[in-house]
Amino acid sequence: MLDVKPILAQQSMVNSTHYPVMVIGGAEDKVNGCGILTAFFQSAGGKKATIGIVPCASQEPSVVGDRYYQIFKGMDAKQVEILDIRQPKECDESRWLNTLADCTGIFFTGGDQMRLCDLLGSSKFMAAIQARIHSGDLVFAGTSAGAAIVGERMISGGISGESPNRSLVDLTDGLGIFPELLVDQHFHNRNRMARLMSAIAANSDKLGIGIDEDTCAAFNDDGTFEVIGKGTITIIDPGKLTHTNYPDSSQTSPLSLHNLTVHVLSQGDRYDYQTRTVMSADS
């Protein structure tokens, strides 16, 4: 379990809820209210926040970084920094580590999750982020590729649709912020149910979480997360799985998964990922 603690309570927040970690399915609203981004801004300190943007998953990091810079500056964050890391060796440089040390919130943009892991994996920069998340003095948010990397295992690619089978999904190691989770993004928007089921068949010790666009799993410090945004979050829980033919299957043969538990959660629903229990909005 990730043991995160709240940082300073925000006195001027419209919504006083503080989310230590926010995992976003991609394509979050950046124009009409910016609900998810505002929740991150508020969690990171509101107008007292120093927000770091990490755009290195993108092929156009300057463009993507500037877009989020303008959004958070428009919210009147105290300071916004773009940590435009281009090479793995830069992750151990003091200029980026010192900038990170001043941040109250860090935001990973979308792009290519493999590029993100290749740049940041096993670096001092990523180790510092994880340590500060665990100590409770840094709020983390990742969207799209920035969401995919949070598990110990990560979906690095694949295709949509069809029946669950090995060929639908490519898997590799993630950055391990939540070791027990396996996240897919743009979920129903890109018809990725079979892909996530295939990933869980290969990693039945993990909990599958499929997050729709403009939707966020907003984690609390008590082992639960809340759904915010316009879409749904799909939970694929293999905890009571009685059989899968995955070990004996070929690349394209259909997979069997018996006694799989599936939940679909929407705005306000809460889920305890430690006990794997659904909680209603008023629980």
258 catalytically annotated: no
What is residue 214's three-state secondary structure? Answer: coil
- β-sheet with 233-237: strand ranges across: 181-185, 207-211, 233-237, 261-265
Annotated catalytic residue 90: no
Q: Are strands 181-185 and 243-244 parallel, antiparallel or unpaired?
A: unpaired
What is the number of helices (H) and of strands (E) in the chain?
7, 17
| Catalytic residue of the set 90, 93, 152, 162 | 162
Contact 190, 204 (CB under 8 A): no
Tokens 């919130």 correspond to 105
Residues 6 or more apart from 219 whose CB is under 8 A from it? 2, 4, 19, 20, 21, 22, 23, 178, 225
HEC-encoded secondary structure of 234-277: EEEECCCCCEECHHHCCCCCCCCEECCEEEEECCCCEEECCCCE
Q: In degrees, to the nearest 5, what angle opens at C-alpha 33 toward C-alphas 39 and 41?
A: 25
3-state secondary structure of 110: coil
Is 186 a residue of the active site?
Answer: yes
How far apart CA 108 and CA 140 sit, in angstroms, is 8
Phi, psi of 215 (to 5 degrees): -140, 145
Catalytic member of 58, 123, 144, 249: 144
Question: What residue type is assigned to position 73 of the chain?
Answer: K
- Which of 28, 58, 156, 186 is flagged as catalytic? 186
Q: Any idea which residues carry the catalytic annotation?
A: 144, 162, 186
